[in-house]
Chain A
Amino acid sequence: MSSSMVESKHPWKAWLYLAPAIVLLLVFTVWPIFNTVRMAFLENYSGLKAAGGMKFQFGFGNFEKVVQYKRFIQCMKNTVLLCIFTVPISTILALLIAVCLNSIKTLQKFLQTIFFLPYVTNSIAIGMVFAAMFNIVGSFYGTENEIIVTAGIINNVIEFFGGKPINWINYGSTYAANMTVMVIYIVWNALPFKILILLGGLQSINKQYYDAAKVDGTSRRRIFTRITVPLLSPMIAYVVITGFIGGFKEYTSIVGIFGESMGPADDAKRLNTMVGFIYDALSSNSQGRASAAALILFGIILVVTLINLQVSKKRVHY
């Protein structure tokens, strides 16, 4: 009996179990929170200069500079646009696929597996495949001597249906074309997770609701809007919120398609995102500005999440 008493006499034992995690968290999680905030409010803070003994003034200079940068505004615009397009498109598409999957029996497991496949891919590697699919091999764009060697499979398909090939990602491509490719790739990438969550939600809906609706002779559409969507709303809210959080941190999918130049050959950085801006500032040793941009990003994510939660409070049925 005494052994069970020993435990409560030695609460330090619990701390022994926690020690490795706490030490690492203090160094790599807790300290960074304080230090990043500190650097954000020290004007023009640079790690290199700080090591040289330079002192920095407290102020809001980093924030002011960051929001005045044209490049930052461009990054923010790209990030916001990608979110606005990819989150609704992928959510609606995933919802459609999940509902369809849920109402079939034959092939259900097989198709479910296929739809999950893009999840286990490397976003840089498969981005390169998408780049190959949209790429045009040729030279002298926009001149009379334009030579197109290979139009790329996507353009081949467009031509097959009687359309004109589009310069998606090459030298001289338009911003709209670039963004279209990014939206397609990001949606393709975002679908598996959303389908998994939504299908899981659908399968946990009590069958009795549907049986009752059947007895009443309720139409399919009414069943969908009055039973399925309300009962699925917590899951929908969840994939929308995580979708926005992921969308605001978009970065590697663009590196996958455009490479580190983050844009077509004639306009590097055109598709840069907020995370890309932070890393650019970091690699040029402007930790102050990088920190300020990271705090702005955190603020935006927080506000968007709170808005989402507020909206779902009114709409979501738990």
Chain B
Amino acid sequence: MAERISTMHEKDMQKETSRQKVVGVIVMVLLYAFLITMALIVLFPFYWMINSSLKTLEEYRMSVPTFWPKQIMLTNYATAFQTASLGRLFLNTLYVGIVSTILSLVITILSAFAFARLEFKGKDLLFAGLLATMMIPGELFTITNYSTVTNLGWLNTYTVLIVPFLVSVFYIYLLRQNFMQIPNELYLAAKVDGTSDFKYLCKVMIPLSLPTLISITILKMMGAWNSYIWPRLVANDANHRMITNGLRNAFKETSGDVNYPVQMAAVAMVSAPLFLVFVFLRKYIMKGVSRSGIKG
């Protein structure tokens, strides 16, 4: 390559650079055109959801679609809220999400601390064993867990929605990595001062790992919000139903002549909290997700 440049005349080189500039501009235009087109495709379903949710049924059913409602029908939202009894579903999901997040954080912190700082026989073996369970598809556990919770008499309770998923090997792994980055000297110094392990954990390690803990909290809450299969199996009664199941139950028909504006209003309301979390806590979600590869 270097040879080629040295044999080129100066004039050729100038031509070459101006040609490169033109090519560069064209490439940039194409890049932006591609990216913006893809972004619009990605956004379109959200726009269509909001657009449809504000229309009257008559307008929605017109053979020529309108890209903004002629008459804004906020009543669709009220109708949807009542039809799906979203209020109860929101509260159920919030309760399950909050309780399971708190308990899960406590368990995760305690185990991650043991794996990161304490010495005991078989530590590495146990940790490797835990990681190995992450390879197994969840359905394999679900089959037996369904029998277990039935035998425990937990069907149609909040307990059944919370307890089986409290321990996440992945979260333990994530937090352990974080704990291990905290210098050992700090721990030894605290030991010299006579600080107990538990106090050290609360006063030093937890504050230093706050970003990871926030990531776990968000992912756990999102998990509760989006869970569908397990709740349908074990707690699909009106008192304990979760939001996703409630949405699917209330609007069973997806194709044919259904009242889409109301359905889309319900979908928009179910999606809204997720968007709020996204807008304000995007950084933590992206950080957690890029290390996990799991949804929720």
User: What residues make up the interface of A, taking CB atoms closer than 8 Å to B?
Assistant: 1, 3-4, 7-8, 11, 13-15, 17-18, 20-21, 24-25, 27-33, 35-36, 39, 47, 93, 96-97, 100-101, 103-104, 107, 111, 113-133, 135-139, 148-151, 153, 156, 169-171, 188, 191, 193, 196-197, 200, 216-218, 220, 238, 242, 246, 248-249, 251-252, 255, 257-260, 264-265, 275, 278-279, 282-283, 287, 290-291, 294-295, 297-298, 301-302, 305
| CB neighbors of A among B116-153 (8 A) | 118-121, 123, 130, 133, 135-148, 150
The CA of A191 and the CA of B188, in the complex, are separated in Å by: 46
| Interface: B252 (CB within 8 A) | yes
The CA of A81 and the CA of B178, in the complex, are separated in Å by: 39
| Interface: B164 (CB within 8 A) | yes
Which residue from chain B places its CB closest to the CB of A30 in the assembled complex?
B133
In the assembled complex, 8 residue pairs joining A and B whose CB atoms fall closer than 8 Å, in A order, are A3-B192, A39-B144, A104-B28, A114-B43, A123-B226, A170-B255, A196-B289, A246-B295
Picked from B119, B228, B289, the residue with its CB within 8 Å of the CB of A119 is B289
| CB neighbors of A among B56-75 (8 A) | 60-65
The answer to whether B286 and A39 touch across the interface, beta carbons within 8 angstroms, is no
Q: How far is the CB of B245 from chain A (nearest CB, A)?
A: 8
In addition to A28-B148, A251-B229, 10 A-B residue pairs with Cβ atoms within 8 Å of each other are A24-B164, A25-B169, A39-B143, A100-B35, A104-B35, A128-B251, A153-B48, A242-B293, A255-B228, A265-B256
Which residue from chain A places its CB closest to the CB of B16 in the assembled complex?
A217
Q: Which residues of B contact A124 (CB under 8 A)?
A: 226, 228, 244, 247-248
The answer to whether A278 and B42 touch across the interface, beta carbons within 8 angstroms, is no
Which residue from chain B places its CB closest to the CB of A21 in the assembled complex?
B111
Q: Which residues of B contact A15 (CB under 8 A)?
A: 114, 120
The answer to whether A13 and B197 touch across the interface, beta carbons within 8 angstroms, is yes
Which residue from chain B places its CB closest to the CB of A184 in the assembled complex?
B41
The CA of A217 and the CA of B172, in the complex, are separated in Å by: 48
The answer to whether B114 and A14 touch across the interface, beta carbons within 8 angstroms, is yes
The answer to whether A129 and B226 touch across the interface, beta carbons within 8 angstroms, is no
Q: How far is the CB of A59 from chain B (nearest CB, A)?
A: 18
A-B CB proximity, top 3 nearest: A32-B144, A14-B118, A17-B114
Q: Which residues of B contact A191 (CB under 8 A)?
A: 42
Q: Report the number of A-B residue pairs with Cβ-Cβ less than 8 Å.
A: 286
Picked from B255, B275, B290, the residue with its CB within 8 Å of the CB of A135 is B255
The answer to whether A33 and B140 touch across the interface, beta carbons within 8 angstroms, is yes
Q: Which residues of A contact B46 (CB under 8 A)?
A: 117, 129
The answer to whether B267 and A125 touch across the interface, beta carbons within 8 angstroms, is yes
The answer to whether B35 and A295 touch across the interface, beta carbons within 8 angstroms, is no
The answer to whether B244 and A122 touch across the interface, beta carbons within 8 angstroms, is yes
Picked from A1, A104, A197, the residue with its CB within 8 Å of the CB of B32 is A104
| CB neighbors of A among B240-279 (8 A) | 244, 247-248, 251-257, 260, 263-264, 267, 270-271, 274-275, 277-278
